[in-house]
């Protein structure tokens, strides 16, 4: 819908339409319209901020930062125009006079803001509001700068590595890629999870490029609606699989031959004085690094560190570091111990795996380190 502002300074609207996904520019445009159609309080400040936002947007399209942390609007304008191929050559080109004139317009906007802006740098509370002549001059000056920036930007190609332009903006490039590339695809499994493997080659790139994409990443990037549908459909299946996996793990431990026939022993202790005691402080630091802090109140003096040590000793058997069945039993025991301290099931299971790996390294060389006194 056209506004009164659009008839006087049409390039504010053109900028907002040029980058429809740029929320800050959209908000700035609405603020300028509201100020112009209202009491015009803060109009000069909002207009100046709008021009600066456009300059910064263009810098971002080329992956360039601000000229400095306290860059003026003129500095931003000069840098944005330089990226767009409009650079002052100090007299070598007739275009220099036009660029210098636009730079002076940017300086004039800042000076007008400092003098006439009712909210800039603090102002007398009885300061008169802007006159219509000031409003029109300010808007036309800013509109001229926006016109130059838009015209220059339309005639250039932004940096494809940084641009936030939509896919449709580069159809001429897409056609070139699609007509020259050879594509092969396959499905591989990594840790029982499917991965889409896509290889692409061209005559100028015989070795080609290989992309490995998880289904979740592909859906999340291309079709968010499909991602949500599959996520919702997989929630029940994931919960059922997790329950079945826990039961199978515990059945495997209980039905294993020899010492594994015993139920995994999980312990909650106030103190521990066994042969793993020298590992107490190291274990404390490691548990903190895993963020395994207790959340459930237990009887006074009960310690998660002492309990983990007691559980470890109770489940170590001869050659336990080489026997996967004993390590599996220890994982179940650690998980049970951790859940008694209020640690969520998933986090407890992951923590149990880390603890088994940690004890395999740290218990080397300790007396009874192979579990001679363990059950």
> Taking each helix axis from N to C terminus, what angle separates 280-289 and 304-315, rounded to the nearest 10 degrees?
110
Computed from CA positions of residues 38, 42, 48, 51, in that sequence, does the dihedral angle turn out positive or negative?
negative
- How far apart are alpha carbons 246 and 240 in whole angstroms? 10
Gyration radius of the chain's alpha carbons: 34
Residue 193 CB partners (closer than 8 Å, separation 6+)? 214
For residues 359 and 312, the answer to whether their CB atoms sit within 8 Å is yes
Residue 50 CB partners (closer than 8 Å, separation 6+)? 12, 15, 25, 28, 29, 31, 32, 142
What pLDDT does residue 371 have? 43
What pLDDT does residue 293 have? 75
Cα distances from 28 to residues 3, 42, 93, 322, in angstroms, run 15, 12, 35, 66
31, 66, 27: which is closest to 45 by C-alpha? 31
Q: What is the dihedral of CA 107, 111, 112, 114, to 10 degrees?
A: 140
Residue 203 CB partners (closer than 8 Å, separation 6+)? 180
Q: pLDDT (tens digit, 9 = 90+) per residue, 160-198?
A: 888 877 778 788 889 988 888 999 988 888 777 889 999
- How far apart are alpha carbons 183 and 120 in whole angstroms? 58
Per-residue pLDDT tens listing for the chain (375 residues): 557 888 888 999 999 988 888 888 899 899 888 888 877 667 777 888 898 899 999 998 888 888 887 788 788 888 888 888 876 545 444 445 555 665 566 666 666 655 555 554 445 444 445 556 667 777 888 888 888 888 888 877 778 888 877 778 788 889 988 888 999 988 888 777 889 999 999 888 888 899 999 999 999 988 888 888 888 887 655 555 555 555 555 555 444 444 434 556 666 766 788 888 888 888 888 888 888 877 666 666 678 888 888 888 888 877 777 777 788 888 888 888 888 888 888 888 888 888 888 888 887 766 554 444 433
- How far apart are alpha carbons 55 and 65 in whole angstroms? 11
- How far apart are alpha carbons 335 and 345 in whole angstroms? 8
- How far apart are alpha carbons 373 and 97 in whole angstroms? 91
Q: pLDDT (tens digit, 9 = 90+) per residue, 109-129?
A: 666 655 555 554 445 444 445
- How far apart are alpha carbons 96 and 35 in whole angstroms? 34
What pLDDT does residue 11 have? 92
Helix (H, G, I), strand (E, B) or coil at 202: strand
Total length of the chain: 375
30, 71, 26, 27: which is closest to 52 by C-alpha? 71
Helix (H, G, I), strand (E, B) or coil at 284: helix
- How far apart are alpha carbons 346 and 243 in whole angstroms? 11
Residue 22 Ramachandran class (φ > 0 left, ψ -120 to 50 alpha, else beta) = beta
279, 243, 260, 242: which is closest to 328 by C-alpha? 260
- How far apart are alpha carbons 31 and 50 in whole angstroms? 9
What pLDDT does residue 261 have? 41
What pLDDT does residue 124 have? 44
- How far apart are alpha carbons 246 and 347 in whole angstroms? 14
Tell me whether residue 289 is exposed, middle or buried, using C-beta atoms within 10 angstroms of its C-beta: 0 to 12, 13 to 18, 19 or more: exposed
What pLDDT does residue 88 have? 55
For residues 64 and 76, the answer to whether their CB atoms sit within 8 Å is no
Residue 146 CB partners (closer than 8 Å, separation 6+)? 9, 11, 12, 14, 15, 51, 54
What pLDDT does residue 91 have? 47
Angle at 269 between CA 268 and CA 271, to 5 degrees: 165
- How far apart are alpha carbons 227 and 118 in whole angstroms? 50
- How far apart are alpha carbons 166 and 177 in whole angstroms? 17
What pLDDT does residue 115 have? 52
């Amino acid at each position: 819908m056209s506004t009164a502002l659009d008839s006087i300074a049409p390039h504010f609207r053109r900028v907002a339409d040029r980058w429809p996904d740029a929320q800050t520019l959209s908000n700035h445009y609405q603020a300028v319209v509201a100020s112009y159609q209202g009491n015009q309080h803060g109009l000069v400040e909002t207009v100046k901020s709008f021009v600066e936002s456009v300059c910064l947007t263009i810098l971002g399209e080329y992956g360039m930062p601000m000229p400095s942390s306290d860059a003026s609007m003129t500095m931003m304008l000069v840098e944005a125009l330089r990226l767009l191929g409009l650079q002052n050559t100090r007299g070598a080109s007739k275009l220099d006079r036009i660029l210098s004139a636009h730079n002076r317009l940017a300086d004039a906007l800042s000076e007008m803001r400092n003098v006439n802006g009712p909210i800039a740098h603090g102002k007398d509370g009885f300061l008169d509001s802007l006159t219509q002549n000031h409003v029109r001059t300010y808007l036309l000056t800013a509109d001229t700068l926006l016109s130059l920036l838009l015209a220059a930007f339309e005639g250039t190609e932004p940096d494809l590595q940084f641009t936030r332009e939509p896919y449709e903006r580069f159809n001429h490039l897409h056609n070139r890629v699609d007509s020259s590339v050879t594509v092969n695809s396959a499905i591989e499994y990594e840790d029982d999870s499917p991965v889409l493997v896509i290889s692409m080659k061209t005559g100028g790139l015989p070795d080609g490029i290989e992309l490995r994409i998880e289904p979740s990443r592909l859906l999340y990037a291309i079709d968010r609606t499909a991602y949500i549908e599959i996520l919702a459909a997989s929630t029940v299946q994931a919960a059922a699989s997790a329950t079945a996996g826990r039961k199978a793990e515990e059945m495997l431990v209980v039905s294993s031959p020899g010492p594994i026939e015993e139920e995994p022993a999980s312990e909650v202790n106030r103190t521990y004085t066994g042969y793993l005691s020298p590992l107490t402080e190291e274990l404390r630091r490691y548990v903190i690094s895993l963020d395994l802090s207790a959340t459930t109140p237990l009887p006074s003096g009960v310690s998660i560190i002492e309990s983990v040590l007691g559980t470890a000793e109770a489940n170590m058997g001869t050659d336990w570091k080489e026997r996967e069945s004993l390590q599996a039993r220890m994982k179940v025991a650690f998980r049970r111990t951790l859940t008694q301290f209020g640690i969520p099931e998933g986090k407890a299971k992951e923590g149990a795996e880390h603890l088994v790996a940690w004890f395999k390294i740290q218990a080397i060389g300790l007396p009874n380190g192979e579990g001679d006194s363990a059950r």
